[in-house]
Chains A and B, each alone.
Chain A
Amino acid sequence: MVLAVQDPSEGADPRQELRSRAEIDRSCQGPVTLFVASAVGWLLFGSLLAMAASIKLHSPGFLSHHAWLTFGRVRPAHLNTVIYGWAAMVGIAAMLWLQTRLSRVTLVFPRLLTAIAWLWNLAVAAGTVAILAGHGTGVEWIEFPVPVALALALLFGAVGLVSFYTFARRPPGHIYVTQWYLFGAILWFPYLYLMAQLMIHLGGATGVVQGSANWWFAHNVLGLFLTPIGVGAVYYLIPKVIGRPIHSYYLSLLGFWSLALFYNWAGTHHLVGGPLPAWLISVGIVGSVMMFIPVTAVAINHHLTMVGHFHMLRTSPTLRFVVFGGMSYTLVSFQGSLQALRGVNEISHFTHYTVAHAHLGVYAFYSMVMFGAVYYMLPRMTGREWSSARLIRIHFWGSALGIALYWGGLTWGGWLQGRMMNDAAIPFLDIVRFTIPFLWSRSFAGVLMTIGHVAFAVLVWRMLAGAREPARAPGPTLLGRPRGEREINPAEAQ
Chain B
Amino acid sequence: MNRTALLYAGIIFTVIISSIGLVFIPEYQLFRLEPVEAADGNLYPQPRTEFEEAGRRVYIAMGCVYCHSQQVRPEHFGADIDRGWGTRRSVARDYLYDQPHQLGTMRTGPDLVNIGSRQSDDNWHYQHLYDPELTSPGSTMPKFPFLFEKRTLEPGREPPFNAIRMPPGVLAENEYLLPTTDAQQLVAYLKSMRHDYAVPEAQP
B54 close to A (CB within 8 Å): no
In the assembled complex, how far is the CB of residue A285 from the closest CB belonging to chain B, in whole angstroms? 12
**A385 to B: closest C-beta gap in Å:** 37
Instruction: Indicate if B44 sits at the interface (CB-CB under 8 A).
Output: no
Interface residue A349 (Cβ < 8 Å from any Cβ of B): yes
B67, A72: Cβ atoms closer than 8 Å = yes
B binding-site residues for A, Cβ under 8 Å: 2-4, 7-8, 10-12, 14-19, 21-23, 26-27, 29-31, 33, 59-67, 69, 71, 73-74, 77-79, 82-83, 89-92, 94-110, 132, 136-146
User: Given A2-B3, A216-B18, A216-B23, do A277 and B100 touch, yes or no (CB 8 Å)?
Assistant: no
Asked if A61 and B143 sit within 8 Å, CB to CB, the answer is yes
In A401-434, which residues have CB < 8 Å from any B CB? 421-424, 428-429, 432-433
Bound CA–CA A76/B66 (angstroms): 8
Whether A134 is near chain B, meaning CB under 8 Å from some CB there, is yes
Q: How far is the CA of A429 from the CA of B132 in the complex (A)?
A: 12
Known: A265-B21, A346-B77. A138 touches B4 (CB 8 A): no
Please pick, from A76, A187, A208, A351, the residue contacting B12 in the complex, using a CB distance under 8 A. A187
What residues of chain A have their CB less than 8 Å away from a CB belonging to chain B? 1-3, 56-58, 60-61, 64-67, 70-73, 75-76, 134-140, 175, 180, 183-184, 187-188, 191-192, 195, 199-201, 203-214, 216, 220, 224, 257, 260-261, 264-265, 267-268, 270-271, 273-277, 280, 283-284, 342, 346, 349-351, 354-355, 421-424, 428-429, 432-433, 436
Instruction: Let me know if A71 and B66 touch, CB within 8 A.
Output: yes
CB neighbours of A280 from chain B (8 A): 22, 26
Per the bound structure, the CA–CA distance linking A436 and B21 in Å amounts to: 40
Given the known interface contacts A206-B30, A265-B18, the answer about A70 and B11 at a Cβ–Cβ threshold of 8 Å is no
Chain A residues with CB under 8 A of B69: 350
Q: How far is the CA of A433 from the CA of B138 in the complex (A)?
A: 7
Closest approach, in angstroms, between the C-beta of A391 and any C-beta of chain B?
34
> In the bound complex, do residue B138 and residue A274 qualify as a contact, i.e. CB atoms below 8 Å apart?
no
Determine if B78 and A135 form an interchain contact, defined as CB atoms under 8 angstroms apart: no
Q: When the two chains form their complex, are residues B103 and A208 in contact, meaning their CB atoms are under 8 A apart?
A: yes
Of B16, B132, B146, the residue contacting A67 (CB under 8 A) is: B146
Q: How far is the CA of A138 from the CA of B98 in the complex (A)?
A: 12
